[in-house]
Structure 1
Amino acid sequence: MKALFLSCTLKPSPEPSNTETLAAVVADALRERGVTVDHVRLADLDVPPGVVTDLGDGDAWPGVHEQLLNAEILVVVTPTWIGRPSSIAQRMLERMDAMISETAKDGTPVAYNRVAGVVVTGNEDGAHHVISEINGALVDIGYTIPGQSWTYWNQGPGPGDDYPQTEHGHEWSHSTGRLMAHNLYSVASALAAQPVPPPKS
């Protein structure tokens, strides 16, 4: 089984990402279950705006799309900015919109029988809103969202330390992340054993 972590931090590599640091807890818990984990930081790629899978020369999205189709588990990793998902997360969802009309050879929508979850960090509140926005879009695309398939951390109202600079809230965020991994793996395994069949015409 494979998992793809799509990081929507605004920071290009090698600048460290707070949200990726928390996401590593989820990735490690999936690896403990035998899952192969790949990680892509979208800020490092040339992904222009659009709602189709391939925009032609220079577009890095087709490679990401191929990785999405090779993974049974998707984890979206995004900071909170002004109470909302990052602009890169929004662009990711817009590019994934094309998957709604894409089908496998048997007619099954390509996102069916795949699960997804979300990891969020930010100094300010808004994590539940970010999780809801991303999960709502992924359901539209065709992903299955297990119960408790997210974790988040925030410092609380106003400015403050970033996630790696404090131990505040880490125990809860980590235990929730490990539960997230358990639920993602369990539901992905159930779908592998009993996949959703192609819709009848």
Structure 2
Amino acid sequence: MTETRYDDLRALFINCTLKRSPELTHTGGLIDVSANIMRTHGVRVDVVRAVDHAIATGVWPDMTEHGWDADEWPAIYRDLVLPADILVIAGPIWLGDNSSVTKQVIERLYGCSHLLNDAGQYAYYGRVGGCLITGNEDGVKHCAMNILYSLQHLGYTVPPQADAGWIGEAGPDRPIWTRVRAVRTTTSPTATPRS
């Protein structure tokens, strides 16, 4: 049986953890699992940790035009978001909801959703969106619902089962990155069992 290859696709994972690099995060661990599955099938994968960048708050493409001294979002949008066929928003659950960084990234995506591509279509037309959620409390489905609704509202196509979550054991004793190597990476992303 020939393995299907996706060498012509590019994916972007935006890590919306509240922790700056190089601190390990459960969100980063889950991204590693998913990104490795994609890489195994030939997808070019980029990962950006939003909190490591000076992303201004607001809903315009470039917030320096609206009073901010600095805004790295325009470069992230141009160099990573636009070239990506697949966008995965990944973040933790805090108090039963998405992190503030997750919400900020969605607001910035929204601020660019009116822009058009070279064919005169909305910028996110023909692109696929999904999400990954981590945490040590309940709320994966609630957080995924919010992100996936937002992505489809902006113009992304959201396929079935476009979310995954890892709640894990409460506390720091069993971080996901200790188990990343145990995950099989030869399965089709659409055939991955969900728990």
Give 1:36's aligned residue: 44
CA drift of 1:123 comes to: 0.5
Equivalent residue in structure 2 for 1:160, among 171, 175, 182: 171
User: Pairwise mapping of residues 32-71 of structure 1 onto structure 2 (< 5 A)?
Assistant: 32-56=40-64, 57-66=69-78, 67-71=80-84
Hey, which of these two has a bigger chunk of helix by percent?
A: 1
Q: CA deviation at 1:45?
A: 0.3
2:104 counterpart SS class: helix
Match of residue 141 from structure 1: 154
Look up the equivalent residue of 2:76 and give its one-letter code: V
Q: Check conservation: 2:27, 2:91, Cα contact below 8 A.
A: yes
Pair 1:111-2:124 in alignment: yes
Contact 2:30/2:177 (CA < 8 Å) preserved in 1? Answer: no
TM-score using structure 2 length: 0.82
1:83 equivalent to 2:96? Answer yes
For structure 1, the 5+ residue unaligned runs are 184-201
**Consecutive aligned runs of 4 or more in structure 1 exceeding 3 Å deviation:** 159-163
Call closer, same or farther: CA 1:41–1:22 in 2, change over 3 Å: same
Q: Cα RMSD (Å) of the superposition? A: 2.2
Contact residue 29 and residue 177 of structure 2 kept, 8 A: no
**SS of residue matched to 1:100:** coil
Partners of 1:166 and 1:38 in 2: CA distance = 18
Aligned residues: 174
- Corresponding letter in the other structure for 1:50: G
Q: Deviations over 1:141-190 (max 9, x none)?
A: 0000111122111136xx434651798xx79xx68xx66x348xxxxxxx
Using the aligned pairs only, state the percent identity. Answer: 37
